[in-house]
Structures are given as C-alpha cells and as structure tokens.
Amino acid sequence: MKNLFSLLLAALVSCAAFAQEAQMNLPRVKLSVGMHQIDAQLARTNDERATGLMYRKEMPQHEGMLFVFEQPSKQCFWMKNTLLPLSAAFVADDGTVVNVEDMRPQTLDSHCSLREVRYVLEMNQGWFARKGIKAGAKIAGLPLAQK
C-alpha cells in the first residue's frame, strides 16, 4: 500500500509540474500581414487553447500563437499565469483583423473580440502597433478550422 501511495504521489507531482510548463512543441504555420512574416504555433484543441502562452518567459519577436476555433464566436482572453505582455488580434474567417487588444501579464482582465471571430493571434505586446497593423488589416495563411 505504501508503494502504491508513493507511486500515486509521484504521478500527481509529475502532472502538476507538467501543467505548469510552457507548450513548446505545437504545430506551426507561416502567416503574413503585408510584408511582415509570422511564425505562429497553432492552438487548436481545448487544452492547447486553455494553456496558450502560459508560463513562457520569452518569445522571439517574429513568433506568436494562433488560436483556431471550430466556429466563429465572440472570443474573450485573459492572462492568468501568462508571464509575457501580449497583444491579441481578433481575426475573422476571411483574415480581417477585427480589433487588437494589449494585455497585461498575470491579470484576470477580459479582452474580447468586437464581433464573432474564428482566430486570435497573440504576439509580443506592441508588435501590431510597431508594424502599423490594426483593424481592417488582412492576415494571410490562416489554416482552416478542423471540423
């Protein structure tokens, strides 16, 4: 019984440690906005989307994370357990940026799309502003949502 308890405790500790690690091995997609290129990790499942960029301590400037949803809906994001300041572009099916929101690390503030979207692209905070990308811009290379 003591061995079983020790094994269960070790498994629990291992799962807790895994849950607090950054997702680093997600599939990637190449996106572009005008002349700007983005190497984005794809978050397509509920678990991948729920973890997002949590626990990351850094992210290269040309990289981001693209959240892909099965169908368009109003999307809201918050930054609990996210260490990096991020900006989120809420993106319609046709690649049009609906709105961009700056988000502070480790907060529970809700940042929402102004209308229904299928995609949310998170980049280091200020990336969109520095590139002059705002509502109305078009993002190319978006994958089709899995049905």
SS3 sequence of the chain: CHHHHHHHHHHHHHHHHHHCCCCCCCCEEEEEECCEEEEEEEECCHHHHHHCCCCCCCCCCCEEEEEEEEEEECCEECCCCCCCCEEEEEECCCCEEEEEEEECCCCCCCEECCCCEEEEEEEECCHHHHCCCCCCCECECCCCCCC
| C-alpha span between 54 and 113 (Å, rounded) | 20
Please check whether residue 98 lies inside any domain of the structure: yes
Please check whether residue 11 lies inside any domain of the structure: no
Neighbours of 132 (CB within 10 A): 10
Given this model, what pLDDT does residue 47 score? 95
Pick from 11-20, 21-30, 73-82, 102-111: least confident: 11-20
Please check whether residue 137 lies inside any domain of the structure: no
| C-alpha span between 27 and 105 (Å, rounded) | 24
Q: Which residues contact 73 (CB under 8 A, 6 or more apart)?
A: 116, 117
* Residue 77 pLDDT exceeds 70: yes
| Residue recorded with tokens 């503030």 | 109
Given this model, what pLDDT does residue 2 score? 46
Report the CATH number at residue 39.
Answer: 2.60.120.1140
Q: What is the pTM of this model?
A: 0.84
Please check whether residue 141 lies inside any domain of the structure: no
Task: Yes or no: say if 65 and 43 are a contact pair by the CB < 8 Å rule.
Answer: yes
Report the domain count for the chain: 1
pLDDT digits (tens, 9 = 90+) for 19-57: 457 787 899 999 999 999 999 999 999 999 999 999 999
Residue type, 83: L
Please check whether residue 38 lies inside any domain of the structure: yes
Residue span of the structural domain in which 83 resides: 24-130
